[in-house]
Amino acid sequence: MAKISDAVGIGQKNNYADVLTVQILLNKNKKVTTPSDKLSEDGIIRPATIERIKKFQQDVVGLKNPDGIISPNGITMHNLVVHSSFHTSTDRATRSVIFSEAQLVEAAKNLGCEIAAIKAVVLTETPRGAFDEKGRPSILYERHYFHRLTNGKYDSDAVLSNKDAGGYGKYSVQYDKLNKAIALDKNAALQSASWGAFQIMGANFKAAGYANVEDFVKAMQTLQGQLDAFVSFIKNTPPLQNALQNKNWATFAKTYNGPKYLKNEYDTKLANNYQAALKSS
């Protein structure tokens, strides 16, 4: 995993090797860099690198007041590694810590639950991370939602529309399916995928605090947006909030994952991931 020894950015040491590492990582991140505007990978801190750091902090990390500084163990560096092609794997108990401690403290305070309980949901829902290798929110396309929302109009393509859940396929094909569904019915398609670290269904956009599914999807592009949606969704679904507060994993699983949660041992996974989160904190 890529690391820096000292801080990079405004007023920092800006060692050559550290600046070079940051520049390479920023260039690998498709969310803030395109082939036509890559930074010079020269190990020299310049305004362009500072501005790219700020853009990353704002667009990906979700900081309202980006400071243009990357600390070795800070939230910006962690996310930079997670969202670059350098990121291949990490200990599963640390994958939930893509959120800063301050973000988790605030969310736990709003929900009246433990931070480890929030981490347990993330570890259970997205063991691969909140974003995919291309920097897009992790999704899972649900063909039975698309069937229901379009009244079976597109059932001729069973991969995209089917009264039965399943047929998920590999993670790498989820956006392909979503994009094909968008071409048929954008609104229904966006509602037919679960999004981000907490895998909230687009169909639940209102409970997640948004007026429409497109605003919900826009919020999924940042970590803060994903966390805010989760907090709203839990608070707007009283059984979930109570279960999360009391760590009643079976009740939480039944409401959050559906009545068939026992089939995939969702409650057991939550309990185990809660313990893993406690140990890693």
**Tens-digit pLDDT profile for residues 96-110:** 347 878 899 999 999
Q: Answer for the pair 129, 141: CB distance below 8 angstroms, yes or no.
A: no
The answer to pTM > 0.85 is no
- Which pLDDT score is estimated for 89? 36
Q: How far is CA 240 from CA 233, 249, 272, in A?
A: 9, 10, 18
Res 3: pLDDT: 80
Distance (Å, whole) CA 232 – CA 101: 19
Q: Are 202 and 192 in contact (CB under 8 A)?
A: yes
Q: Considering only CA atoms, which of 25, 23, 29 is closest in space to residue 50?
A: 23
Q: Which residues contact 79 (CB under 8 A, 6 or more apart)?
A: 56, 60, 61, 98, 223
Where are the chain's structural domains?
8-82, 101-280
Distance CA 141, CA 269 (A): 21
The span from the CA of 149 to the CA of 118, in Å, is: 30
Rg (alpha carbons) of the chain, rounded to whole number:
20
Task: Answer whether residue 114 shows pLDDT above 90.
Answer: yes
- The predicted structure's pLDDT at residue 136: 78
Judged against a pLDDT cut of 50, whether residue 8 lies above it is answered with yes
CA angle 38, 26, 7 (to 5 degrees): 130
